[in-house]
Chains A and B, each alone.
Chain A
Amino acid sequence: VKSEFHSDAFPSADHRWFNDHILPHEPLLRAWLRSRFPRGVDLDDLVQESFARVLRARANGATMRSPKAFFFATARNLALDVLRHRHVSGQDNLVPFDSLNVLDGNESIPETVDRTEKLERLTLAIQSLPERCREVMTLRKVYGLPQKEIAARLGISECTVSAQLTIGVRKCTESFARDRREEGLL
C-alpha cells in the first residue's frame, strides 16, 4: 500500500475537520488493527492510506454520519485488501474478497459502509478458520453446495464435511460475539 497522503493538497476546512474528527481516533485505530491483524500488515502504511481515503471521500462530498466509523471501516477494508493479496493463490480464491472493494463504487457512502462492514465481518470470520474448515464452510455457505457434493468434490467423507462445518459455525459464532464486544469501542 503506497501512501498518497499529502496534507497540503487539502483545503484548510477539510484540514480542520480532519484534525477534529479523524486524527483523535488514530491511537485507538492502531491498537485495534494491531489486535486484529497481528502479523504482516504495515500499520503506518495502512493508517496513512486510510487518512488519504477518508479525505478523498470527504473531498468528493461524502456525508459521514460517523467519521470515526468510516475511518475504521476504511482501515479494515485496506487491511483485508492486504491479506487478500497475500492469499491470491489456490483455494483462497473461493473467499469472496472482491466483494469488499465496494467503497469505490457509485453508491451512497454510508449505506456502502454498513453493508461493507457486515460482509467484512462475515468474510473475516471465514478467512480466519483453519484451511480445511474454511474450504468446507466456503463451499457450503458461499457456493451453496450440499454437504454430499462437498464431500465428493473434495474427495473426503461426509462425516469429515459435517465435522468441519460444526467447528466452522461454532468458531464463527465466537468471532461474531467478539466483534460485537469490540463494537462497544467504536
Chain B
Amino acid sequence: VNIPTPDEQAADWLVRRDRGLTPAEQDDFLQWLSADPRHGEALARQQATWRELDLLSDWRPGHAP
C-alpha cells in the first residue's frame, strides 16, 4: 500500500475542511499539521490552487461582463 504524499494528504484535508470538520476531526487536522513541516508547505500549495480557482466563479457563463 502506498503511503499518501504530503500533497495528497494536504489536498484531502483541504477538501475535508471545505466540507466542514467535526471537533474531533479538527484535532486530527491540527495534529497532522504540526507533525511535519512539509505538511504545512503542502497545504499552502494546495490552498493557493483552491483559492486561485475561485477566480473562475466570476466568469461563469451568463455572468461574464
Contact = CB atoms under 8 A, between A and B. Distances in A.
A76 B51 CA distance: 23
Interface residues of A, number: 28
Nearest to B7: A170
B52 A126 contact: no
A119 B59 contact: yes
Contact of B61 (A93, A122, A147): A93
Contacts, number: 74
Interface stretch (A22-30, A39-47, A158-166): A158-166
A166 B11 contact: yes
B30 interface: no
A146 B50 CA distance: 14
Contacts of B2: none
Interface of A: 93, 96, 98-99, 118-119, 122-123, 125-126, 137, 140-144, 147-148, 158, 162, 165-167, 169-170, 172-173, 176
Interface of B: 7-8, 11-12, 14-16, 18-19, 45-46, 48-50, 52-57, 59-61, 64
Given A137-B53, A173-B46, 20 more contacts: A99-B56, A99-B59, A119-B59, A122-B52, A122-B55, A122-B56, A126-B56, A141-B50, A142-B57, A143-B60, A147-B18, A158-B19, A162-B19, A166-B15, A169-B53, A170-B7, A170-B11, A170-B46, A173-B49, A176-B52
